[in-house]
């Protein structure tokens, strides 16, 4: 009977060992996947920073700068309306104002000068 217990104990120990190895390998695989995803995220963040730096170097305003200008325009419009005695025009929403961007003649002229 002692042999039976020993044999089943060995089988139980082997099963536990195999299960723990499978759990360990699954953990390693999850860790490797997380590192890979982190690398992709870091690459995307680096790309976005480079694009923002390039846009700012050529003078393209940021969203925050445009929002600040819009707020200033609204304030000035209200002041002009108050001084002239006319009610201020209702503010249009961004969805109504959304139009495809047209190329500005100034940009075409600047590009033409650079090519000469």
pLDDT the model gives residue 68? 97
Residue 11 lies in a domain: yes
Residue 70 lies in a domain: yes
Q: Which residue stretches of the chain have pLDDT < 50?
A: 1-3, 102-107
- Rounded to whole angstroms, the Cα distance separating 8 from 86 reads 95
pLDDT the model gives residue 90? 62
Residue 36 structural domain = 2-88
pLDDT the model gives residue 79? 93
**How many domains does the chain divide into?**
1
Residue 115 lies in a domain: no
pLDDT the model gives residue 2? 46
- Rounded to whole angstroms, the Cα distance separating 102 from 93 reads 20
- Rounded to whole angstroms, the Cα distance separating 105 from 97 reads 21
pTM, two decimal places: 0.40
- Rounded to whole angstroms, the Cα distance separating 102 from 8 reads 80
């Amino acid at each position: 009977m002692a042999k039976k217990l020993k044999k089943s104990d060995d089988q139980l120990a082997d099963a536990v060992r195999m299960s723990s190895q499978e759990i360990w390998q699954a953990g390693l695989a999850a860790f490797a996947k997380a590192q890979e995803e982190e690398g992709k995220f870091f690459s995307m963040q680096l790309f976005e920073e480079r694009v923002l730096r390039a846009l700012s170097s050529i003078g393209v305003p940021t969203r925050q700068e445009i929002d600040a200008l819009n707020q200033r325009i609204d304030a000035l419009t209200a002041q002009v309306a108050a001084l002239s005695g006319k009610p201020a025009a209702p503010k249009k929403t961004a969805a109504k104002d959304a139009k495809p961007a047209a190329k500005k003649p100034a940009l075409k002229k600047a590009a033409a000068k650079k090519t000469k």
